[in-house]
Amino acid sequence: MLRLKILLLLLLLVSTASAQKVLQGRVIDEQTNKPVEFASVYLNNTTNGTHTNDKGEFRLAVGAGTYEVVVSFMGYEPVIFEAKGNELAPSYLVKLTPKAYNLGEVEVTATRDKEWYYNLAVFKEHFLGKSKLGNQLKILNPEVLVITFDPQESVLDVQAKDVLLIQNPALGYTIEYLLTDFKLYFRDNYSYFLGYPKFTLMEGGKGKQRRWLKNREAAYNGSFMHFVRALRKQQLEEQGFNLRRLYRLPNPNRPTDEEIAAARAELRERAKGGTVKLEGEVGEVLSRASLPKYIEKLDKNPVPYNAYLSTENGLAKLAFDDFLQVVFTGEKEEPGYLLQFKERKAGKPTYQTSVISLDSGSIFLEENGSVSEPLQVVLEGYWGWEKVGEMLPLDYRLN
**Is the residue at 89 inside a domain?**
yes
CA 314 to chain centre: 26
Side chain identity, residue 78: P
Q: Are residues 302 and 227 in the same domain?
A: yes
**Is the residue at 2 inside a domain?**
no
pLDDT band at 11, cuts 50/70/90?
very low
**Is the residue at 12 inside a domain?**
no
Q: Based on the structure, what is the number of domains in the chain?
A: 4
Task: Express each pLDDT in 145-177 by its tens digit.
Answer: 999 999 989 999 999 989 999 999 999 999 999
Question: CA-CA distance, 320 to 383, in Å (whole number)?
Answer: 19
C-beta separation of 122 from 156 below 8 A: yes
Q: What is the pLDDT of residue 101?
A: 61
Rounded to 5 degrees, what are φ and ψ at 391? -70, 135
C-alpha pair distances (Å), 379 with each of 140, 150, 220, 326, 355: 28, 25, 16, 10, 6
Beta bridge partners of residue 326, listed in sequence order: 243, 354
Task: Express each pLDDT in 371-384 by its tens digit.
Answer: 988 889 999 999 99
Task: Express each pLDDT in 334-353 by its tens digit.
Answer: 988 988 776 555 578 899 99
Q: Are residues 329 and 352 in the same domain?
A: yes
- When the pLDDT of each residue in the chain is averaged and rounded to a whole number, the result is 88
Q: For residue 282, give the H/E element and its range.
A: helix 280-287
Q: Is the pLDDT of residue 276 over 80?
A: no
Q: Are residues 241 and 278 in the same domain?
A: no
CA 192 to chain centre: 8
Which residues have a Cβ under 8 Å from the Cβ of 165 and sit 6 or more positions away? 139, 140, 141, 174, 175, 176, 177
Global confidence as pTM: 0.84
**Is the residue at 397 inside a domain?**
no
Q: Are residues 239 and 348 in the same domain?
A: yes
Task: Express each pLDDT in 13-58 by its tens digit.
Answer: 444 444 678 999 999 999 999 999 999 999 999 999 999 999 999 9
Q: Is the pLDDT of residue 9 over 80?
A: no
Q: Is the pLDDT of residue 125 over 80?
A: yes
**Is the residue at 256 inside a domain?**
yes
Domain with 367, as residue range(s), is 221-251+294-391
Q: Are residues 178 and 264 in the same domain?
A: no
Instruction: Tell me what the mean pLDDT of segment 288-312 comes to.
Output: 92
CA-based nearest residue to 198, from 69, 345, 16, 14 = 69
Q: Are residues 275 and 242 in the same domain?
A: no
Burial 341-369 (b: 16+ CB within 10 A, else e): eeeeeeeeeeebbbbbbbeeeebbbbebb
84-93, 227-236, 287-296: the lowest-pLDDT one? 287-296
Q: Torsion-angle region of residue 172: left (phi > 0), alpha (psi -120 to 50) or beta?
A: left
Instruction: Tell me what the mean pLDDT of segment 102-117 comes to.
Output: 63
pLDDT band at 2, cuts 50/70/90?
very low
Q: Is the pLDDT of residue 205 over 90?
A: yes
Burial 269-303 (b: 16+ CB within 10 A, else e): eeeeeeeeeeeeebeebbeeeeeeeeeeeeeeeeb
**Is the residue at 303 inside a domain?**
yes
Q: What is the pLDDT of residue 348?
A: 82
Can you say whether the dihedral through the CA atoms of 136, 142, 145, 146 is positive or negative? positive
Instruction: Tell me what the mean pLDDT of segment 198-209 comes to.
Output: 95
